[in-house]
Each structure stands twice: as structure tokens, then as C-alpha cells.
Chain A
Amino acid sequence: MGTILFTIIFFPLVWEAISRWSGLPAFILPSPLEVWARFLRALADGSLLRHASVTLLEVLGGLAIGLSTATVLGYLLAKSRTLERLLAPYIVASQSIPVVAIAPLLVIWFGPGRLSKVLISSLIVFFPVLINTIVGVRSVPAELHDLMRSLRATRWQTFVKLEVPAALPVLLGGLKVGATLSVIGAVVGEFVGSEKGLGFLISLARGLYDTPLSYVVVFSLVAMALTLYGLVSLLEHRLLAWQGIENNR
């Protein structure tokens, strides 16, 4: 707790000091106080919340789609070597394409509205969750599969009582990474073509040389990503309580 407090106080102090001694104008390096004032103004006129809620919805949509497709496909790939051999080259190849490069295409195909942003976000969430699902499902010990078989468990019982709980720690690790990446995906989409959202607000601020506003948006994005990360950690804590029992001893 002490270190967190230190970080919170220390960082703005250093920043304030640099911005004063360097004598740079506010459109290059604004002081923390100027950014704070701009934050209050953006809050008061409602623009910040309006744009943030647009981005948040896209992010949540992207997470929902990315997470569901990646876990379903990941499970199938983990269970079938043939399917993996068939699809792996495409999946790996798709990962070598930077999202920034296909974002404009998606905006052309799916329009400048919410859908294209949701899809870009889900694309970026997809890969880490997919990989972790595969690793998680494959890491289930063979003895436990033998055990379930010797007890004549049905496929569904094996899935629910063995594979899901066994893969969950790894899967949640992937979701943590995915949650932070999902914000990047949505913003990249908004950058490319949009009239709403935090990504749009950044390009607007840049055009107006309203650098304090850019800072406000950047911090909002960080806050959003950290909140999502925190929520997944919380989920992890609750679902994996049995690991906590181990650690507390």
C-alpha cells in the first residue's frame, strides 16, 4: 500500500518539475495541473464519459466475441490433432499481420460504426485466449483422463468436472492479457475511422493541438485497461480459491 501511494505522489511531482524547468509550451508538455484542469472540463461538459462509454461498449463486445470464439475453437483444436494441423498455419499466419494493417479493411467491410471496432478488438483478444485454451486443455494430466474413463464419466462430465477446472488457471491467464489488448483493438479501430470513442477523441485533440486532452484520454484508456485487468484478477481469485488456500499456508 505504501509503495502504491509513493508511486501516485512521486510520478506527478517529477512530471511537474520537468514541465516547469524545461519551459516547454503546454501543447508539447503540459503540466499535471493543466491536465487535471482539462480532465475536469471534459468531465463537466460530458464529452469524456460520452466517448469513454462508446469505447467501453466496443471493448466489452470485442471481449465477448473474442473470448467465446477463441475458447470454443481452442477446445476443438486441443482435442483434434487433425483440425489443428489443418488450421494452425492460417492462425499463425494471421498473427503476423499487424492489426493496424487490417483495421482499415474491416472499417471498409463493416462500416465506420460500432461493429468494425468490436471485430478489431475481438481479433486482438482472440490469439492469446486461443493459445492459452489449447495449452490449458492439453495440460490435463493423462491419469485424470484415465480416472474419468475408469469411472465411466460421460463426455459432458469429463468436460465439466475435469477439463474446465483443469484448464481454468491457464485460460484466465490468457484472458488477463486479452482484456488489456481489447482496449488497444477498439482504439485502433476508432483511429482509422470513427466519429466517436476515445480513439477519435485523441485524433481530435491532436488536430486541435489540445495536448492536455490527449493526456486525459491516454490516462482514461490506462484506467479502463487496468480496471478490466483487475476484474479478471478478481474473477481468478474467486474461481481459483483452492490455489489461494495453498499459498496462505
Chain B
Amino acid sequence: MNASEPALVTRNLSMVYPNGDGSLHALHQVDLQVQPQEFVCVVGPSGCGKTTLLHLLAGLLTPSSGEVLFEGKPLRGPRRHIGFVFQQTSLMPWRSVVENISLPLELQGVAEDERRHRAMELIELVGLAGFENTHPHNLSGGMAQRVAIARALVHEPNILLLDEPFGALDALTRERMASELLRIWSARTVTVVMVTHSISEALLLSDRLLVLSERPGRVRLDLPVPLSRPRLLEMTYTPRFGELAQEVRAAIG
């Protein structure tokens, strides 16, 4: 891969769902670029097409027009180099934590020992040591999302897509998970595109923040976040942070 080549590009990306008596225009001519190892957050009003955008980037949906370029090549269908964390927790209740995390490797035909070894590494990374044989029913919401993140990373994808991963968590857990995600992101060389409805979360995490308009979604604001790293929770209380948040807030409308 060329060093300067974007990890993801969309060109004129539009999505129209066939819908009962007509059609539903979810995304309209979205153009964006994500650089390798960049952390991009997407915010926008609910129903504006954020999930649709992520599914298009993952190759789970075929665009009505326009295209997605993955590492310079047109994307046709899901790729193994992409990890996805879904909006709803999508763990398999009949599998233990370690079995859930090693699923991607299992589907690739990786040998049992190797699978376990790599899943245990991820369990360590997301801070779930000691819970490897627990089943999802016995996990808290935050722990379940850690498992989902670990599963999305276990096959060492180049790109991690997260769809409101902390949407169902309480405020405190949410803050902790955000810092955890930053730590995980710096431990792994991975490009991240994350959808969230929290402006401060988006500002705290991302290098660049995209604001989508009301449906049909289009990029209304593409804001590089001028905050230094490492990002700390305390930054959210600075005046600079408040100004940025206001700018984003105004763009959402």
C-alpha cells in the first residue's frame, strides 16, 4: 500500500432504499477520505444514514450510485481486512467470551491453538482477563462491548468500523470505554471510523469529525480536530473544547 494513499475513499456515494410505495433516500453524494491510521468520527441526527454509511464502507450494502474505494480498489462486498462493531450487541449467546472473540479466526480456518492464543491476547488488551469462559448473559453492557471490539480486532483488520458502540451504556461507563478505545487504538495500528451521537465523545476521540445533514445525509462539516494527543478526559472542560463543540452543534442544526 502506498503510504500516502487513503485507506478509504467514497465518491458520490448515494443510497436509496426501495421502500413500500416509493423509495427512501438515505445518503446523498457523500465524498470523504480516511487516511491510514486516522481516527474519524461521524455524527449526525438520528435517521440521517450513519449506519447506512458504515454498512456501505464495510461492503455489507451495495450503493445505489457512486463507489467506495478500499485501499485504492473499488469495494465489492465484505472484506476480511475490515472489523465491524454493530450498533446492537451482536454476541452469540451460546458462545463463551473466548469463543465469541475467536469466531472470525474460526471462519478463516485458523488452527485451534493459534485461535485461542490470539483471542487471549485480545482479552488481555480489552481488560477482560478472567472472563474468557463467561457467557454473554453474565456480562455487563460495557463488558459485552469490549468483547465485540475484541472480536472486531482479532483478525487484525486494517480498518475498524464502529456503529454507536457505546450508545447503550451509562454515562460513566461510556467515558471509561472511550478512553479504553483510545488506548486500544494506539496499541494497534488500525484506521477507525466511528459513528456516535455524542459530540464530546467524537471530539475527544477523533482526528477528524464529519457531520452529516438530515436525511438524505450528506457531509455538512469536515472538521479536523486541533487537539493534541494524548487526549485526556480533562480536556473536555477547556474553553477551546467548548468552542469546538459549539461549532459542531451548530452544523448539526
B180 to chain A, nearest CB (A): 21
Q: Is B90 an interface residue (CB 8 A)?
A: yes
The answer to whether A150 touches B82, judged by C-beta atoms less than 8 angstroms apart, is: yes
Tell me, in angstroms, the Cα distance from A249 to B80 when the chains sit together: 37
Known: A165-B94, A246-B137. A152 touches B84 (CB 8 A): no
Tell me, in angstroms, the Cα distance from A162 to B95 when the chains sit together: 11
Known: A161-B103, A161-B106. A149 touches B78 (CB 8 A): yes
Known: A153-B107, A165-B92. A147 touches B84 (CB 8 A): yes
Interface residues of B in 79-124 (CB under 8 A from A): 79-80, 82, 84, 86-88, 90, 92-96, 103-104, 106-107
Tell me, in angstroms, the Cα distance from A32 to B96 when the chains sit together: 52
A206 to chain B, nearest CB (A): 49
A83 to chain B, nearest CB (A): 22
The answer to whether B84 touches A150, judged by C-beta atoms less than 8 angstroms apart, is: yes
Q: Is B138 an interface residue (CB 8 A)?
A: yes
Tell me, in angstroms, the Cα distance from A157 to B59 when the chains sit together: 19
Interface size on A, residues (CB 8 A): 21
- A contacts with B: majority SS: helix
A7 to chain B, nearest CB (A): 33
Q: Is B210 an interface residue (CB 8 A)?
A: no
Q: Is B60 an interface residue (CB 8 A)?
A: yes
The answer to whether B78 touches A152, judged by C-beta atoms less than 8 angstroms apart, is: yes
Q: Is A144 an interface residue (CB 8 A)?
A: yes
Which one of B59, B90, B94 contacts A141 once the chains associate, using CB atoms below 8 Å? B90
The answer to whether B103 touches A146, judged by C-beta atoms less than 8 angstroms apart, is: no
A172 to chain B, nearest CB (A): 13
Q: Is A4 an interface residue (CB 8 A)?
A: no
The answer to whether B90 touches A147, judged by C-beta atoms less than 8 angstroms apart, is: yes
Tell me, in angstroms, the Cα distance from A151 to B86 when the chains sit together: 13
Tell me, in angstroms, the Cα distance from A165 to B95 when the chains sit together: 10
Closest residue on chain A to residue B104 by CB atoms: A151
Tell me, in angstroms, the Cα distance from A152 to B82 when the chains sit together: 11
Q: Is B174 an interface residue (CB 8 A)?
A: no
Tell me, in angstroms, the Cα distance from A141 to B86 when the chains sit together: 12
Tell me, in angstroms, the Cα distance from A152 to B104 when the chains sit together: 9
Q: Is B197 an interface residue (CB 8 A)?
A: no
The answer to whether A152 touches B86, judged by C-beta atoms less than 8 angstroms apart, is: no
Closest residue on chain B to residue A158 by CB atoms: B107
Return chain B residues, CB-CB under 8 Å to A240: 94
Q: Is A242 an interface residue (CB 8 A)?
A: yes
Interface size on B, residues (CB 8 A): 27
The answer to whether A146 touches B86, judged by C-beta atoms less than 8 angstroms apart, is: yes
Tally of contacts, chain A with chain B, CB under 8 A: 60
Q: Is B58 an interface residue (CB 8 A)?
A: yes
Q: Is B208 an interface residue (CB 8 A)?
A: no
Interface residues of A in 151-169 (CB under 8 A from B): 151-153, 157, 161-162, 165-166
Return chain A residues, CB-CB under 8 Å to B80: 151-152
The answer to whether B78 touches A143, judged by C-beta atoms less than 8 angstroms apart, is: no
Q: Is B135 an interface residue (CB 8 A)?
A: yes
Closest residue on chain B to residue A147 by CB atoms: B90
* Interface core residue of B59, B84, B90 (most chain A CB under 10 Å): B90
Q: Is A245 an interface residue (CB 8 A)?
A: yes
Return chain A residues, CB-CB under 8 Å to B94: 165-166, 240, 242
Return chain B residues, CB-CB under 8 Å to A150: 58-60, 78, 82, 84
Tell me, in angstroms, the Cα distance from A149 to B59 when the chains sit together: 9
Tell me, in angstroms, the Cα distance from A195 to B58 when the chains sit together: 66
7 more CB-based (< 8 A) A-B contacts, given A143-B87, A150-B58, A165-B92: A143-B86, A144-B90, A146-B60, A150-B78, A150-B82, A152-B107, A242-B96
25 contacts between A and B (CB under 8 A): A141-B90, A144-B90, A144-B92, A146-B60, A147-B84, A147-B90, A149-B60, A150-B82, A150-B84, A151-B78, A152-B77, A152-B78, A152-B80, A152-B107, A161-B106, A161-B107, A162-B92, A165-B92, A165-B94, A242-B95, A242-B96, A242-B135, A245-B135, A246-B135, A246-B137
Chain A residues at the B interface, C-beta cutoff of 8 Å: 141, 143-144, 146-153, 157, 161-162, 165-166, 240, 242, 245-246, 249
Chain B residues at the A interface, C-beta cutoff of 8 Å: 55, 58-60, 77-80, 82, 84, 86-88, 90, 92-96, 103-104, 106-107, 135, 137-138, 155
A-B complex: 10 closest residue pairs judged by Cβ atoms: A143-B90, A246-B137, A150-B84, A242-B94, A143-B86, A165-B94, A150-B78, A143-B88, A147-B90, A153-B107
